[in-house]
Structure 1
């Protein structure tokens, strides 16, 4: 099987949960993009790109539910995984705090324009969404946005930048993704993997 794993904070948990299910993998070494381990291949990619790799041919991937929701990729999601827990939240400077329902005409900076758009559509509130790819907390600080939608784990980064959470947009955790064609052509292998991971999670092993 071919696996695509996320660089960054989810990589360790991804390797551990697969190991508990009996799949021993190691990420590619520096400068290498693909690592072969026994009958498996491992690719490392940005978390945001993992669903795209899985949709277009890699058998199995792991990434956050925030990414899956934002990308809208056509993949199977057989399991939620017990790591990568955090939340996607709306935050703004404490001194300018308002409820989301009162944000008509506000500018919101985020890496998640689709999720953010749907959140405000449900509230029937029109906002101007500014797409940024990093250091989102800077946007209100320098005055280019009124609020942000971003991942929050402890809230420390928000507080350090004078921001407060106003609303939770969605809860986030790591997800197992499966390519739709691979689910049929490699049914036994993939089914065995899913059951193995499920059993490992339930047993807490």
Structure 2
């Protein structure tokens, strides 16, 4: 079975959960892309690429629900996982607070253009979306955007940059993703994995 795991904040939670479910993987070393451990192969990828790898052939992956929503990849999601909990929120400078319904013509910086567009369309509000890949909080600070849509965990980064959370766009958690073909060709293995992870979650260990 082949796994693709996300680099960054979800990696340790992913490895820990799988280990408790009886699958001990080690991530590839710095210069290796794939690590083989017994009958398993593990790849490390950017969280945003994980759903694409799973859709196009890797058996199992873990990434955030924000990423899957943004990507819209055609994968199975048998389980929500008990880590990576945070939220995707709309935030703006404290001195220029406005309600989302009043943001017609505003420029919103985000790495989630699809989710952001859908959120504002649902309110009947037209905004300009500026897609950035990192340090989204800088955009309002330097005057190139009016607000941002980004991941919020504690809110400390927002506060440090003079930003205030205006509203939550969606809750976020880690998800288990399964390739649709693998679900059929490796039915027993995949089901056993899902069952083992369910047991770990249920026991809260």
- Which residue of 1 is the match for residue 161 of structure 2? 161
Matches of 1:17 and 1:10, distance apart in 2:
11
**1:114-145 C-alpha deviation (Å, 9 max, x unpaired):** 00000001000000000000000000000000
- Counterpart residue number, 1:28: 28
Give matches, 1:1-205, under 5 Å: 1-205=1-205
C-alpha offsets along residues 15-36 of structure 1, whole Å, 9 cap, x if unaligned?
0110111111000011100000
**Could you say what secondary structure the match of 1:95 adopts?**
helix
Please give the secondary structure, in 1, of the residue aligned with 2:63: strand
SS in 1 for 2:95: helix
Q: CA deviation at 1:170?
A: 0.3
Alpha-carbon distance in structure 1 between the residues aligned to 2:188 and 2:170: 33
Counterpart CA distance in 2 for 1:5 and 1:44 is 5
Q: Using the TM superposition, give the Cα deviation of residue 159 of structure 1 relative to its aligned residue in structure 2, in angstroms.
A: 0.3
Q: Secondary structure at the match of 2:90?
A: strand
Question: How many residues are aligned here?
Answer: 205
The C-alpha deviation readout for 1:27-72, integer Å capped at 9, x for no partner, is: 0011100000000000000000000000000000000000000000
Counterpart CA distance in 1 for 2:8 and 2:105 is: 35
For 1:15 and 1:53, the matched residues in 2 are separated by 18
For 2:70 and 2:194, locate their aligned partners in 1 and report how far apart those are by CA, in whole Å: 24
TM-score, length-normalised on structure 2? 1.00
CA distance in 1, matches of 2:107, 2:204: 43
Name the TM-score, length of structure 1 as normaliser: 1.00
Matches of 2:119 and 2:166 in 1, distance apart? 13
Unpaired segments ≥5 residues, structure 1: none
| Structure 1 Cα separation of the partners of residues 28 and 172 of structure 2 | 26
